[in-house]
Amino acid sequence: MKVNVLDLKGKASSQIELPKIFTQEVRSDIIKRSFLSLQSLLRQPYGSDPMAGKRTSVHYHGRRHVRDSMMNISRARLPRIHGSGFLNFRVRRVPQAVKGRRAHPPKTMKDWIQKVNKKENLLAFKSAFAATASPDYVRERGHMIDGIKLPLVVNDNVHSLKKTKNVRELLTNLGLEKELERTKEKKIRKGRGKTRGRKYKRKVGPLFVVTEDKGILKAGKNISGVDVRLLDELTIKDLAPGSNPGRLIIYSQSALKSLEGFENGFV
């Protein structure tokens, strides 16, 4: 199957054969597994202070035949504060007590990393690439691609774009005006996340996949929702944000040609 290679004006200049990777079956389950594995690497271990709830002078009063024994006086035999005024005989330290330790606190030594097999990870990448050529998956993600033939391939002149307005003009020439309007929208997040440094939510837009940077990385980063990545630095998070396959991707001609040798992978 061949696909048109477009110039910066959005007009077909030549054709290129699609690599076999785009005929791969899309496995959403494997993509999600790889995505969660990547997310787990970014998770920071956390835990409580090991001495929390234990910094107290309490001692046990339950033994028989000792001073201040609590036998036969209708009190639970628990570690209590002794001889401290208004806190006299208050229970501390045990989990069920006020200001006591937690029964099972989070521990920093817990391993949050989810491992994934190399072949599964490679299959996830192949599936994610294949989904970018499927109009059904791309539309399901919410991208506006009416009248656009996928995948979008642009000649290597895209590497030399050095201004944001030039990248915006290219996207317009490719017929993505509605997509730019969609990604410009900014919504306020629901729930407690508004108070935790993530008040706003934005849509994920097109992704440029290139093989070299002659200015495109800096030129494209200031457009809302648009990302630019080198082929060798792609992650499953770029290809399937939120583990949902079908991101709208604009390949440079050399990047698409490099995918022909992807059978052994670069992940």
Quick: pLDDT tens for 112-141: 999 999 999 999 999 999 999 999 999 999
Give CA–CA dist 62/148, Å, rounded: 80
Write down the pLDDT at residue 165: 96
176-230, pLDDT tens digit by residue?
A: 999 999 999 999 999 999 999 999 999 999 999 999 999 999 999 999 999 999 9
**Whole-angstrom Cα distance, residue 267 to residue 259?**
13
Of 169, 168, 177, 257, give the one whose Cα is nearest residue 210: 257
* Residue keyed to tokens 């787990």: 40
Structure tokens at 34: 């790889």
In-domain check, residue 223: yes
- Nearest one of 241, 226, 245, 233 to 170, comparing CA atoms: 226
Decide if 62 is inside a domain.
no
Using alpha carbons, select from 205, 251, 247 the residue that is nearest to residue 226. Answer: 205
**Residue 148 and residue 176: Cα distance in Å, rounded?**
9
Tokens of 37: 């594995």
Contact 138, 246 (CB under 8 A): yes
Q: Pull the structure tokens for residue 176.
A: 């993505």
- Phi, psi (degrees; rounded to nearest 5) at 222: -95, 5
**pLDDT surpasses 60 at 266:** no
Which residues, in sequence order, are bridge partners of residue 48? none
Is residue 245 in a domain? yes
CA-based nearest residue to 5, from 257, 229, 261, 212? 257
Per cent of the chain over pLDDT 70 is 98
Residues 86-109: what's their mean pLDDT? 94
With a pLDDT cut of 90, the percent of the chain lying above it is: 85
In a domain, 25, yes or no: yes
Q: What is the mean pLDDT of residues 62-73?
A: 78
pLDDT of residue 196: 94
Is residue 212 domain-resident? yes
Residue with tokens 């594995």: 37
The answer to whether residue 100 sits within a structural domain is no
- What pLDDT does residue 1 have? 84
CA–CA separation, 185 vs 179, rounded Å? 10
Determine the average pLDDT of the residues in 78-84.
Answer: 86
- The distance in angstroms from the start CA to the end CA of the chain is 26
* Residue predicted with more confidence, 89 or 237: 237
- pLDDT value of position 46: 94
Angstrom distance (rounded) from CA 267 to CA 232: 8
The pLDDT of 79-106, averaged and rounded, is 92
Q: Residue 231's CB: how many other CB atoms inside 10 A?
A: 18
CATH of residue 122: 3.40.1370.10
Domain that holds residue 198: 2-42+117-264
CA 45 – CA 196 distance, rounded (Å): 18
**pTM as predicted:** 0.85
Residue 254 confidence (pLDDT) above 90? yes
In a domain, 60, yes or no: no
Determine the pLDDT at residue 89: 87
Query: Three-state SS for 107?
Result: coil
Q: Is residue 78 part of a domain?
A: no
Q: How far apart are CA 19 and CA 153, in angstroms?
A: 13
Q: Where are the beta strands (DSSP E) in the chain?
A: 2-6, 12-17, 152-154, 186-188, 200-202, 207-210, 227-230, 249-252
What pLDDT, on the 0 to 100 scale, is given for residue 267? 43
Region 62-83 average pLDDT: 82
State how many domains the chain has.
1
